[in-house]
Structures are given as structure tokens and as C-alpha cells.
A = this chain, B = another copy of it.
Amino acid sequence: MLQYLAETGVKLLKIEIWSDFVCPFCYMGKRRLENALQDFPHKDNVTLEYKSYELDPNAEENPGLNMHEYLAEKKGMPAEQAKQMNESVGKQAAEVGLTYNFDTMQHTNTFDAHRVAQYAVEQGKGEEMTERLLHAYFTESKLISDHATLIALAEEVGLDPDKVTELLKVDDYALHVRSDEEQARQIGVQGVPFFVFNEKYAVSGAQPEEAFREVLDTVWKEENERPALTPFPSSTKSETTYCTDEGCEVKE
């Protein structure tokens, strides 16, 4: 059955964002994009779609290392050097108003957090849930794989805690997470954050605000300056079976 849709006016600008909750540059990139959007005159016509991406699907739920030790082990470097790197990242985060508490941060597996976020997206709370999880991890040093923690955070953003309890017990929304990750693989994502604007332009990494401003302006102009129409079929002579204010042309 064919449907009719009302005229919607200007086109929406869709931004798909692959990110992980334990990814320091994802939170910064999110904030920089948001800052760029604040000044974007067409921000009400922008939709954000947060996508699941686990940096390490095999990450332990509780590795028993602090973040400096964890990074040192991951990168094979002295703990002191790892600490300096974390401090450097923390400074960059502070520049966009974010507080990263690396000393107490608890690295963990994010699969369940992504499942809850997928449920939140479905309930129209994706924005709030994503922000809440990032804040819980980077600033509040919460263990965001812990089910009681996830349920409490979900309730804070207005989700039904019973529903979240239930979905965490079983495999709900696992396929949503895997589907996002498969899509990322297909389009060649090798790291996060990864932003795709109207399925056309890709921004890799937490680029400066200015880069986000540029891509927003570029995509908006391209999409809303109605493109020249291509006559179809182009190969055959146009049939004269149409009507104008002069009357209808009859095909002989």
C-alpha cells in the first residue's frame, strides 16, 4: 500500500555517531559537536543517531588496575608515562568543560551499557542516556558494567527501571549493538568517535569545533539548495503527452 506524506519542508541533517563510553575522545568530540551545533542556525533540523561501538569487546568487567596501570599495560609503557598521557588527555577534556578523573576511573566492558543505550534510543532518550553514561564513567568513576549502576543511571534519565532490569537479564538489544558495529565495519570505521553527516561526509576523531562547523554548513548548503533535476529518461526524446496552460499535446 502506497502512503502519502505531507510536505516536510527543509531536509533534515542526520548525524550518525559511532562511539564508546570508555573512549576519552568520544566524550570530547561529542561536546565539540554540540558546541558547533549551538551556533548552527538550522540546529532544529538536525538529528543525532548514536551508534554502538566497543573499542574492546573482550575487555574485562573489572580489570583490577587503575587507569594509569591499564594504559601502561595496553601501550607497553612505564606507568609514569601513561599517567602523563592521561593528564594530557584530561587537560584537553577540561578545555571543553569536562572533568576526567583518571585516578579513580574504572575501565570496564561496555557491552551492557550499549544495550541499555540502544533501548534508550528506542525510547527517545538516547541523547540523555549517552551523556549520562559518559559522565558516570569519566567524571563520577562509576563502574558502568554493573547492572545496579546501569539501572540507576537509566532511571535517572527517565527510563523504566523494571524494563532495564529485564533487558539486562537476557540478551535484549545485543543484535542492535552488533548491527551498529557491523555497519561501522562496512563503512571502514577504524576508530571512534566517527561521525557521518547525511551518509555522505565522514569526520574521524574529535576534530576541533571549527571542523564540525564547516561540515555542518557544507552539508546544509548541499542538501537544501535544491539540486538541478536530471531529466529522465535522458536517452529518449521527451514524449509530448502532457498539458500546459496552452492545452494538452496529443501524441500523433
Cβ of A231 and Cβ of B202 under 8 Å apart?
yes
With A85-B250, A89-B250, A243-B192 known as contacts, the answer to whether A50 contacts B4 (CB < 8 A) is yes
**Could you tell me the distance in whole angstroms from the C-beta of A167 to the nearest C-beta in chain B?**
16
Determine the main DSSP class of A at the interface with B.
mixed
With A192-B243, A242-B193 known as contacts, the answer to whether A232 contacts B201 (CB < 8 A) is yes
Interface assignment of A127: CB less than 8 Å from any CB of chain B = yes
Identical copies in the complex:
2
CA distance A203 to B48 in the complex (A): 34
Cβ of A207 and Cβ of B239 under 8 Å apart?
yes
Question: A5: which of B5, B47, B199, B242 is its contact (CB, 8 Å)?
Answer: B47
Cβ of A25 and Cβ of B242 under 8 Å apart?
yes
Cβ of A242 and Cβ of B7 under 8 Å apart?
no
Contact count band on A: 35 or more
> Which A residues are within 8 Å of any B CB, using their own CB?
1-7, 14, 20, 23-26, 28-29, 37, 43-44, 46-50, 55-56, 71, 74-75, 85, 88-89, 92, 121-122, 124-127, 176, 179-180, 186-188, 190-194, 196-197, 199-208, 211, 214-215, 218, 226-227, 229-233, 236, 238-251
Could you pull out 15 A-B pairs where Cβ atoms are within 8 angstroms?
A2-B47, A2-B127, A3-B124, A3-B127, A6-B49, A6-B122, A25-B243, A29-B242, A74-B246, A190-B244, A191-B249, A194-B242, A196-B229, A200-B227, A211-B232
